[in-house]
Chains A and B, each alone.
Chain A
Amino acid sequence: MTTSSANSIATHRHDRLRQWLLSTAPRSRRQARLGRAYIAWLTFIENRLAMIGLGIIIVLVAAAALAPIIAPYAPNAPNLAERLMPMSSAHWLGTDELGRDILSRIIHGSRLTLYVIVLVAIIAAPVGLLIGTVAGYIGGWLDVVLMRVTDIFLAFPKLILALAFVSALGPGIENAIIAIAITAWPPYARIARAETITIRKADFIKAARLQGAGPIRLIWGHVMPLCLSSLIVRVTLDMAGIILTAAGLGFLGLGAQPPLPEWGAMISSGRKFMLDQWWVAAMPGVAIFVVSLGFNLLGDGLRDVLDPKAEGR
Chain B
Amino acid sequence: MGQDSGTSPQGSRVWHYGRKLSALAATVALTFIGLLFVTFLIGRVVPIDPVLAAVGDRAPAEVYERVRIELGLHLPLYQQFLVYIGKVLQGDLGQSVLTANAVTTDIARVFPATLELATAATLFGIVLGIPMGVLAAVHQGRWPDQLLRVVGLFGYSVPVFWLGLMGLLLFYGRLDWAPGPGRLDVFYEGLLDPVTGVILIDSALAGEWDIFRNALAHITLPAAILGYFSLAYISRMTRSFMLEQLNQEYITTARVKGVSERAVVWRHALGNVRIPLVTVIALSYGNLLEGSVLTETVFAWPGLGFYLTQSLLSADMNAVLGGTIVVGAVFIGINLLSDALYRLMDPRAR
| Chain A interface residues (CB < 8 Å from chain B) | 148-149, 151-153, 155-161, 163-170, 240-241, 244, 247-248, 251-254, 264, 267, 271, 274-275, 278, 281-282, 285, 288-289, 292-293, 296-297, 312
Taking a contact as CB atoms under 8 Å apart, the answer to whether A157 and B169 are in contact is no
Taking a contact as CB atoms under 8 Å apart, the answer to whether A169 and B158 are in contact is no
CA distance A156 to B328 in the complex (A): 6
| Chain B interface residues (CB < 8 Å from chain A) | 27, 30-31, 34-35, 38-39, 42-43, 45-47, 153-154, 156-162, 165-166, 168-169, 173, 236, 240, 286-287, 289-291, 293-294, 297, 308-309, 312-313, 315, 317, 320-321, 323-324, 327-328, 331-332, 335
Taking a contact as CB atoms under 8 Å apart, the answer to whether B286 and A157 are in contact is yes
The distance from the CB of B132 to the nearest CB of chain A, in whole angstroms, is 16
Report which of B31, B45, B166, B290 forms a contact with A157, defined as CB distance below 8 A: B290
The distance from the CB of A239 to the nearest CB of chain B, in whole angstroms, is 11
Residues of A within 8 A of B173 (CB): 274-275, 278
Closest 8 CB pairs between A and B? Answer: A285-B162, A152-B34, A292-B157, A293-B157, A157-B290, A168-B42, A275-B173, A164-B324
Residues of A within 8 A of B291 (CB): 159
Taking a contact as CB atoms under 8 Å apart, the answer to whether A251 and B294 are in contact is yes
Taking a contact as CB atoms under 8 Å apart, the answer to whether B308 and A288 are in contact is no
How many A-B pairs fall under 8 Å by CB?
138
CA distance A160 to B30 in the complex (A): 19
Q: A153-B34, A160-B308, A289-B157 are in contact. List 4 more A-B contacts (CB 8 A).
A: A156-B35, A156-B331, A157-B286, A160-B293
CA distance A169 to B46 in the complex (A): 7
CA distance A274 to B162 in the complex (A): 11
A170-B47, A254-B312, A296-B153 known; A161-B38 Cβ under 8 A: yes
A285-B162, A289-B157 known; A163-B42 Cβ under 8 A: no
CA distance A152 to B159 in the complex (A): 26
CA distance A254 to B161 in the complex (A): 15
The distance from the CB of B191 to the nearest CB of chain A, in whole angstroms, is 28
Residues of B within 8 A of A251 (CB): 159, 161, 294, 297
